[in-house]
């Protein structure tokens, strides 16, 4: 399993789609519409976050756990290197940020952590040791705000009620990266990079992740070489003028 971890709007879903297509594996993506309370969570700044934090995180917990169960089943069937654009690890990070901000009551936060930890240790009767690799994406805060504006979700705005909250999210993920050490983490700086539309930048990131998978024994060198050889056709890349 490959988890992609990053603050809001840094490119998790875009990379998950590209990476899973390159590897030929399933992508488990976050669909905001499947979290009914998310709009209410954002609706009135600090007040709505205080009122909805526990309920929203429980909705995410249920959603992520179902995806994790599907991934464990696929691994048992022989499909490795499934890709997740978020995870229970990411959700715990977001919850910690809310707690640090005084927007997640302590008793409810402890209840949430207990549930999160139990679910991560045991997935539908199968011990779970965590992902094989976490890809951590880092970019400047200004790029995060720009991307939030570009994707234009109604619940996400960059008015004064939310910008300070977004900055705390950006900071908590940097703190997470500095302190996390339970499973392998690959940091990729995507500041100023357009890996969705720029083929060279896309290939550089995919190669970096897949080289790490080779190092971890999750891909063979020959599998990696075959993936690279088939990539241009798989993504329908334009033929190079120098080819």
The DSSP-derived string for 198-240 is -HHHHHHHHHHHHHHHHHTTSS-HHHHHHHHHHHHHHTTPPPP
Query: Does the pLDDT at position 152 exceed 50?
Result: yes
pLDDT at residue number 127? 74
pLDDT in tens, 108-127: 999 999 999 988 887 766 77
User: Is residue 101's pLDDT more than 50?
Assistant: yes
Question: Per-residue pLDDT tens for 6-31?
Answer: 999 999 999 999 999 999 999 999 88
pLDDT of residue 128: 80
Give all domains of the chain, ordered by start, each with its CATH number: 2-234 (3.40.50.300)
Minimal CA–CA distance to 127: which of 201, 176, 57, 68?
A: 68
């Amino acid at each position: 399993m490959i988890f992609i971890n990053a603050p809001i709007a840094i490119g998790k879903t875009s990379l998950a789609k590209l990476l899973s297509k390159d590897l030929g594996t399933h992508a488990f993506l976050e669909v905001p519409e499947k979290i009914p309370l998310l709009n209410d969570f954002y609706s009135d700044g600090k007040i709505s976050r205080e009122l909805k934090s526990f309920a929203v995180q429980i909705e995410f917990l249920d959603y992520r756990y179902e995806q994790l169960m599907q991934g464990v089943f696929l691994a048992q069937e022989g499909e490795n290197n499934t890709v997740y654009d978020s995870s229970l690890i990411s959700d715990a990070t977001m919850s910690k940020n809310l707690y640090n901000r005084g927007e997640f009551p302590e008793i409810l936060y402890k209840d949430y952590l207990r549930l999160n930890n139990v679910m991560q240790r045991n997935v539908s009767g199968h011990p779970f040791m965590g992902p094989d690799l976490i890809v951590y994406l880092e970019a400047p805060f200004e790029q995060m705000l720009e991307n939030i504006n570009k994707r234009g979700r109604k619940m996400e705005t960059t008015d004064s009620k939310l910008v300070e909250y977004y900055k705390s999210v950006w900071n908590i993920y940097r703190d997470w990266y500095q302190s996390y050490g339970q499973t392998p983490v690959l940091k990729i700086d995507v500041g100023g990079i357009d890996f969705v539309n720029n083929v060279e930048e896309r290939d550089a990131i995919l190669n970096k992740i897949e080289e790490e998978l080779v190092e971890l024994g999750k891909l063979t060198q020959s599998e990696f070489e075959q993936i690279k050889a088939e990539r241009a056709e798989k993504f329908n890349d334009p033929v190079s003028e120098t080819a």
